[in-house]
Chains A and B, each alone.
Chain A
Amino acid sequence: MKFSLSWLKTHLDTDASLTEITEKLTDIGLELEGLENPADALKPFRVAKVIEAGPHPNADKLQLLKVDDGSNEPWQVVCGAPNARKDMVGVFGPPGTYIPGSDFTLKPAKIRDVESFGMMCSARELELGDDHDGIIELPADAAAAVGTSYADYAQLDDPVMDIAITPNRQDCMGVRGIARDLAATGIGTLKALSIDPIARSGAGPDVRTDDSEGCPAFYGCTISGLSNGTSPDWMQARLKSAGQKPINALVDITNYVMLDHGRPLHVYDVAKLKGGLVARKATVGEKLTALNDKEYVLDETMTVIADDNGAHDIGGIMGGAETGSEESTTEVLIECAYFDPASIAKTGQKLMLTSDARQRFERGVDPAFLDDGINIATALVLELCGGTASEVTRAGTPPTEQRTIDYDPKQCAALGGIDVAPDKQKLILEALGFSIDSNWTVTVPTWRRDVEGWQDLVEEVVRIEGLDSVPSTPLPRKAGVAKPTASPEQLAERKARRAAAARGLNETVTWSFISDKEAAPFGGGNWSLANPISEDLKVMRPSLLPGLIAAAQRNADRGASSIRLFEVGRRYLESSEHPTIGLVLAGENRMRSWQAGSATKYDAFDAKAEVLAILEAAGAPVDKLMDFAEAGDHYHPGQSGTLRLGPKKILAAYGALHPSVTKALGLKGSAVGAEIFLDAIPMKKAKGHMREAFAPPTLQAVTRDFAFIVDADLPAGDLVRAVKGADKKLITDARLFDLFEGASVGEGKKSLAVEITLQPVDATLTEDDLKTVSDKVVASAAKLGAELRG
C-alpha cells in the first residue's frame, strides 16, 4: 500500500517528523517496505525563463537559447524543442544534472559546433509524464519563481511511503485506517471525518439483491447531468503516489475512495444499462468480459451484478468492459455493495483473477461504511463533474452487528508478558475505535473483522505499546542439567551420518522431487505434483539414488575424479515416507599410487563395506544379517545384494548400479550405490549405562581351518553360515579366508577355506572333541554339496 505524506496528513494531525512516522509504522506492524521522495531526483532542476531565442547557425531544427535560471550569467542552450520560444518559462537542468527519464548526466557539449550548457526539459525527461513533444511550459506567472527549485515550485516534495499490509488488516488498505493506527500511538490525532449533507432529489435507482448470501447489501444512487473529464491535480498526484494511473474523473473518484477509505465502488454508465440492476448468482456458463478485456466463464457459485441484458460486474472483483464510464458519460449509477468475503475469495481463486477490490472485499470491508462510502463518492462526483444526485436505494442489509468481547486488562500481562495500566489499555483500544463499558466488555468496531477474542485485544495493546517494551522473561524449566532429549531413532540417524562422513563420504542435500524419467528405473513415483515448478522437479523420489547419481555426474563434469556422496533423507512411497541413507561411489576408488599401482574403480564390495559400517553405527545387529540377492532392477543383477534380518526385513540394498540405469540418468562410467533403510533397523531398548559383568572365558579359544571344494556358483556366505551352524555351542565364529578357482580344483568348482573359532566352556577340548566338531562341520557343509579338500 503506497501513499504520500501529504495524503496521510489529510487524516492525521501531527507534528511528527517523517522518520518518526515511518519508524512508528514498522513498530505497530505496518512494515515500511519503501520510502521515496519524487522530489529527490528533481532537486537540481530550476524554474527558468528563456530570455533570448534565435536560430542555430548550423541547423534548421535547432534553436539557440539564452536561459535565465536565477544564476549570475544566463546559460547558452542549444534546444530542439518546437515549443521553445522567447519569454516562455520552463524547467532547466544545469550542467552536471542527472536526467532521470533519459538516464544520463548533462555535460557541456558542442552541438553542431555551438556550445550548449544544460537543458530545458520535457515532462518525460523528468519522469513526470509521457509528454515528449516539447519542453515543459509553465504558466507565465511562474516567471516570478525563476531560480527556485522546480520540485518546490510544483510542490512535488512529498515523500511516498510503501507499507506491507498483512492479510488481517483490511482496515489499513485505506489511508484513513493507517492514520487511525498511527493516532493510537499518540503520534498525532485522527481528524474527524466530516461529510457535508448532499442535496439529493428524485427517486433512487432500481437496484436489488437476489443473492443475500453473496451480496447481503447493495446500495445505489444515480447522478445525472454530469460531465466527465480529467480529475484535478491534487487527486492525480495522490493516485500517482499510490501507483494508480489517472484515467478520468469518474474512475479516479472510485479509485480514490477505495484507497482513501478502503471502500471499493463501481460506477456504471446509465446510458449503457437496460432496466434495473440486480445482485444475483451467475448462471452456469454465463460469460462476462471484464475491464481487463479478458472473458470469464462464470458458474452458479459466483455473484454478479446484472441488468436486463446480462451480467456487467463480477461482484466485488471486477467490473465489465461494456458498461464502464467514459469521457462522454453524462449519467452514472454508483454501486456501493457489501460482498461476502468467503464467496469473493472462492470466486477469485476459481477465476484466478485478482484486483484491488477483491483484495479488500475478501478481507472484509467495513459493513457500516456503505452510506458514508456512497456519500463521499457522490460528493466528489458533484464537486468535480457537476450534475444532480438521486436518493440512495438501499437493498438488503449489511452485517453490521458488532462483536463484543469480555476482557480483563490483566490478560495483557498474562499473554503479552507486559503490564500496561488499564487506563492506558483503554486509551489505546478507544483510539483504535473499540468501545469499552465499565465492566470491560469491549465492542469491536465494524472495520475490525479480524478481532475475535481477548487474545486479539492483547495484541492490539501490545502492538501499540510496542513489542520492544515486552521484558524478556526466562522460560520456566526444571532445575538441574538438561536431560537428553534425542529419541533412539534420532541418535541412530545421527551416528550413522557421522559414521558415513568419518568413512570419507560427503553429505549432500538433493531435491526431494525428481523427474519422471529419473524415477522410472526405480519403479516410478507415487506422488506426482499437480503443480510442479518444472518437469525436472515433479515426482517425490522413490529412492535417494537418482538425486545422488545426478549430483555425482555434476561433480564428474567439474573434474572430480573420486566421488563419494551420501544423503540422509526420505523416500516417498505410496503408504508413507521412509527415512533412508543413500550413497553413491563413482570414479576412482583408490588413486594410483606408488604402493597400490594403478587407480582402481569402485566395486560392489566397496558399497557393501560402507553399508555394513553405517548399519553398525546405526545400531543394526550386523553379525545377524543375512546376504540375499534381489536388490532391485536398478542394480547389476550379478553384483548386488541385500542385507536382511530374517528373510523379509530388508535393512539395506547395495551393489553396482545397473549400466542401463546410470546411462539413462546421464552418468558416464560405472558407479556403485546403496540405500540403508533406517526405519527397518530395530531400535535397541535402552538398558541403562550398566554393562554386563566382565567374565572372560577361562579357557583359550582354538581355531581350525577347513578347505572345501564346492560348486562354483555356491554363495560363499551359505557355506560359512552352514559351517558356523554346525555346532552352535562350540563354534563362536566362522570366517572365509581363502577363495581359489583353477584347474587343480576342477571345472565348475572352487575352493573355499574357512577358519572356525572354538570356545571351550567347561574343559579343554580333547582330540575326540575336536574330531566330533570337525565331523559335524564336514557333514553340515556336505549338505551344500561341499567336499573336504584332501
Chain B
Amino acid sequence: MSGIEAIKEKYLGQIEVAADGDVLEAIRVAALGKKGEISLLLKTLGKMTPEERQTEGPRINGTRQAVADAIAARKEAMESDVLNARLATEKLDMTLPPPSAPKGSIHPVSQVMDELAEIFADLGFSVATGPEIEDDWHNFTALNIPETHPARAMHDTFYFPQTDDSGMPKLLRTHTSPVQIRTMMDVAKQTDGAGEPIYIIAPGRTYRSDSDATHTPMFHQVEGLVIDKGIHMGHLKWTLETFVRAFFERDDIELRLRPSYFPFTEPSAEVDVGFSVEKGRRIIGGDPRGDNGGWMEILGSGMVHPNVIRNCGLDPDVWQGFAFGCGIDRLAMLKYGMDDLRAFFDGDLRWTEHYGFDALDVPTLSGGVGA
C-alpha cells in the first residue's frame, strides 16, 4: 500500500469512530485544513513532472474527495441522531381530545324562510317586509275590511293605546297582508299610478290574541302577492302546487282548493294539501284518498279584490293578480315533524339541537331546499 492509500485509510478510520462534531472538526483540520496533511500533499503536485502529476494528481484528489465525503456523511448522521433524540423526548399522547368548538344552530323558522326565499326567487318573487306595529288602515281597511265588517271578529287583534293619524288605535298586524298594501302603494307611487308587475313574498311575525295548545299569540306567516296583467286562478293554483312540491321536495303532492271567503280576495279559496301515512306518521304527499290519508288545510288564497287594488292607487281594470297567506311555523312542522308549536318560542337548547339547522346548511336551489 502506497503512502497516500495509508493516509486515506487512517482518516476514514478516524472519521468512522469520531464521537462528536468537535472530534470530526479536528480530523477535518488535520486532513483538509490549510496545513492539513492532504492539503500539503496537494501542494506537492506543483513541483512534480507532468508524468508524475498525471498519476499522482487523481490519487491525491481522490483521497481528498473521499475524506471530505466521509466527513460530510458522518456529520449528517450525527445531526440526525441528535434530532431523533430530541424528537423522542417530545412525544405527545395524541389520544387526547382536542378542544371542541361549540356548535351553533339556525332556528327552523329562519331556515324555512330562507327556503321560501330560494323557491320563490326562482319563480321571480322577491322578499318584501313591513312593520309589525301597524295601523288600522293597512291591516284592515285597505284590505277591504271596514270597521263594521264581521270578518274583523275572526282576527283577535292586539291593540295599543297609541293612535294613528286618523285616531284609530295602532295594532299588531294580524297577518302579513298589510305588506301587500305597502308594496302596491309603493309601486303606485313610484310609477305615478301606472303600476308595474309585482311578484313578492312577505314572511314575518304576526300576532293574534289566541293562546292554547295549537295557537300562540305570536306566529309567522308568509304572504304571496302577484300583480300583473292577465293573472288568474289557474296561475294561483300552479304557483301553489309548484311551491308546495318544491318545498316538500315531492312531486306526488295534491292540492284541493275549496271556495271560501276573505274580504281581500275575490274569488277566495282555502287550500288543503293531501297527506298519507308512512311509518305511522302523517306525510305531506302520497294518496290522500288511501288508508288514513286525507286533506289538511295549509293556506288561504284568492284573486286580489278590486277594492284592494284600488285602495292602493292602482287600476283594477288593468292590474289583476292573486295573493296567498300561509303559516310558516306550520310549514316547518309539516316538513320537519315538530308536533308542538309552543316549543318554537321557548329557546330550549335541546329542542334547538334536535330541530335546528347547521350554520352552513344554506338552502340553495342546486343543493335542494330540504337541508
Residues of chain A having any CB pair with chain B under 8 Å: 26-29, 31, 166-169, 341-342, 345-346, 349, 359, 362-363, 413-418, 453, 455-456, 458-459, 462-463, 467-468, 470-478, 482-487, 490, 494, 497-513, 527-533, 537, 540, 547-548, 550-552, 554-555, 558, 560, 562-566, 568-570, 572, 576-577, 590, 593-596
Is A494 touching B257 in the complex (CB atoms < 8 A)? no
Contact of B345 among A31, A470, A511 (CB under 8 A): A511
| 19 contacting pairs across A/B (C-beta < 8 A) | A342-B148, A345-B150, A417-B237, A458-B266, A459-B268, A473-B238, A475-B124, A486-B127, A497-B106, A500-B104, A501-B104, A504-B101, A504-B104, A506-B356, A512-B172, A533-B210, A558-B348, A593-B97, A595-B99
Contact of B261 among A167, A342, A501 (CB under 8 A): A167
Is B258 touching A26 in the complex (CB atoms < 8 A)? yes
- A349 — which chain B residues lie within 8 A by C-beta? 148
- What's the Cα separation between A482 and B258 when bound, in Å? 31
Contact of A507 among B105, B124, B205 (CB under 8 A): B105
How distant is B154 from chain A, measured CB to nearest CB, in Å? 7
Is B123 touching A416 in the complex (CB atoms < 8 A)? no
Tell yes or no: B122 within 8 A of A by CB: yes
- A564 — which chain B residues lie within 8 A by C-beta? 102, 104
- B238 — which chain A residues lie within 8 A by C-beta? 472-475
Is A31 touching B161 in the complex (CB atoms < 8 A)? no
Contact of B105 among A453, A487, A501 (CB under 8 A): A501
- What's the Cα separation between A414 and B239 when bound, in Å? 17
- A341 — which chain B residues lie within 8 A by C-beta? 148
Is B103 touching A415 in the complex (CB atoms < 8 A)? no
- What's the Cα separation between A494 and B117 when bound, in Å? 11
Is A415 touching B239 in the complex (CB atoms < 8 A)? no
Contact of A31 among B146, B149, B159, B260 (CB under 8 A): B260
Q: What residue of chain A has the Cβ atom nearest to residue B233's Cβ?
A: A417
- What's the Cα separation between A562 and B100 when bound, in Å? 13
Tell yes or no: B168 within 8 A of A by CB: no
Is B125 touching A485 in the complex (CB atoms < 8 A)? yes
- B107 — which chain A residues lie within 8 A by C-beta? 507-509
Contact of B162 among A527, A532, A565 (CB under 8 A): A527
- B260 — which chain A residues lie within 8 A by C-beta? 29, 31, 166
- B235 — which chain A residues lie within 8 A by C-beta? 417, 473-476
Is B232 touching A416 in the complex (CB atoms < 8 A)? yes
Residues of chain B having any CB pair with chain A under 8 Å: 96-97, 99, 101-107, 109-110, 114, 117, 120-127, 131-133, 146-151, 153-154, 158-162, 169-170, 172, 205, 207, 209-211, 217-218, 226, 228, 230-239, 241-242, 256-261, 263, 266-270, 303, 305-306, 320, 344-350, 352-353, 356-360, 362, 365
Across the A-B interface, give the 3 residue pairs with the lowest CB-CB distance, nearest first.
A504-B102, A417-B234, A551-B347
Is A475 touching B226 in the complex (CB atoms < 8 A)? yes
Is A459 touching B267 in the complex (CB atoms < 8 A)? yes
How distant is A438 from chain B, measured CB to nearest CB, in Å? 24
Q: What residue of chain B has the Cβ atom nearest to residue A168's Cβ?
A: B261
- What's the Cα separation between A568 and B114 when bound, in Å? 13
- B348 — which chain A residues lie within 8 A by C-beta? 551, 554-555, 558
Is A558 touching B261 in the complex (CB atoms < 8 A)? no
Contact of A467 among B97, B132, B257 (CB under 8 A): B257
- What's the Cα separation between A723 and B320 when bound, in Å? 64
- B233 — which chain A residues lie within 8 A by C-beta? 415-418, 462, 467, 470
Is B268 touching A510 in the complex (CB atoms < 8 A)? no
How distant is B55 from chain A, measured CB to nearest CB, in Å? 55
- A418 — which chain B residues lie within 8 A by C-beta? 233-234
Contact of A533 among B122, B147, B217 (CB under 8 A): B217
Q: Given the interface contacts A504-B101, A510-B345, does A455 sit within 8 Å of B306 by beta carbon?
A: yes
- What's the Cα separation between A385 and B261 when bound, in Å? 41
How distant is A541 from chain B, measured CB to nearest CB, in Å? 11
Q: Given the interface contacts A415-B303, A501-B105, A530-B169, does A508 sit within 8 Å of B237 by beta carbon?
A: no
Is A362 touching B110 in the complex (CB atoms < 8 A)? no
- B306 — which chain A residues lie within 8 A by C-beta? 453, 455
- What's the Cα separation between A576 and B130 when bound, in Å? 11
Is A507 touching B106 in the complex (CB atoms < 8 A)? yes
- B350 — which chain A residues lie within 8 A by C-beta? 558
- What's the Cα separation between A558 and B99 when bound, in Å? 24
- What's the Cα separation between A421 and B263 when bound, in Å? 28
- What's the Cα separation between A146 and B242 when bound, in Å? 61
Contact of A414 among B104, B209, B232, B268 (CB under 8 A): B232
Is B149 touching A529 in the complex (CB atoms < 8 A)? no
- What's the Cα separation between A414 and B211 when bound, in Å? 41
- What's the Cα separation between A490 and B204 when bound, in Å? 13
- What's the Cα separation between A560 and B348 when bound, in Å? 10
Is A417 touching B232 in the complex (CB atoms < 8 A)? yes
- B228 — which chain A residues lie within 8 A by C-beta? 476
- What's the Cα separation between A501 and B371 when bound, in Å? 15
How distant is A673 from chain B, measured CB to nearest CB, in Å? 14
Is B131 touching A577 in the complex (CB atoms < 8 A)? yes
- A476 — which chain B residues lie within 8 A by C-beta? 228, 230, 235
Is A475 touching B230 in the complex (CB atoms < 8 A)? no
- B147 — which chain A residues lie within 8 A by C-beta? 345-346
How distant is A764 from chain B, measured CB to nearest CB, in Å? 36
How distant is B4 from chain A, measured CB to nearest CB, in Å? 52
Q: What residue of chain A has the Cβ atom nearest to residue B96's Cβ?
A: A594
Q: Given the interface contacts A416-B233, A507-B352, does A531 sit within 8 Å of B209 by beta carbon?
A: yes
Is A29 touching B232 in the complex (CB atoms < 8 A)? no
Is B105 touching A512 in the complex (CB atoms < 8 A)? no
- A471 — which chain B residues lie within 8 A by C-beta? 234, 237
- What's the Cα separation between A459 and B269 when bound, in Å? 10
Is B104 touching A416 in the complex (CB atoms < 8 A)? no
Contact of A415 among B127, B320, B357 (CB under 8 A): B320
- A590 — which chain B residues lie within 8 A by C-beta? 99
Is A485 touching B127 in the complex (CB atoms < 8 A)? yes
- A415 — which chain B residues lie within 8 A by C-beta? 232-233, 267, 303, 320
- What's the Cα separation between A268 and B283 when bound, in Å? 57
How distant is B113 from chain A, measured CB to nearest CB, in Å? 9
Is B133 touching A572 in the complex (CB atoms < 8 A)? yes
- A487 — which chain B residues lie within 8 A by C-beta? 126-127
Q: What residue of chain B has the Cβ atom nearest to residue A507's Cβ?
A: B107
Is B121 touching A593 in the complex (CB atoms < 8 A)? no
Q: Given the interface contacts A459-B267, A477-B124, A494-B114, does A531 sit within 8 Å of B159 by beta carbon?
A: yes
Q: Given the interface contacts A471-B234, A533-B209, A568-B110, does A456 sit within 8 Å of B161 by beta carbon?
A: no
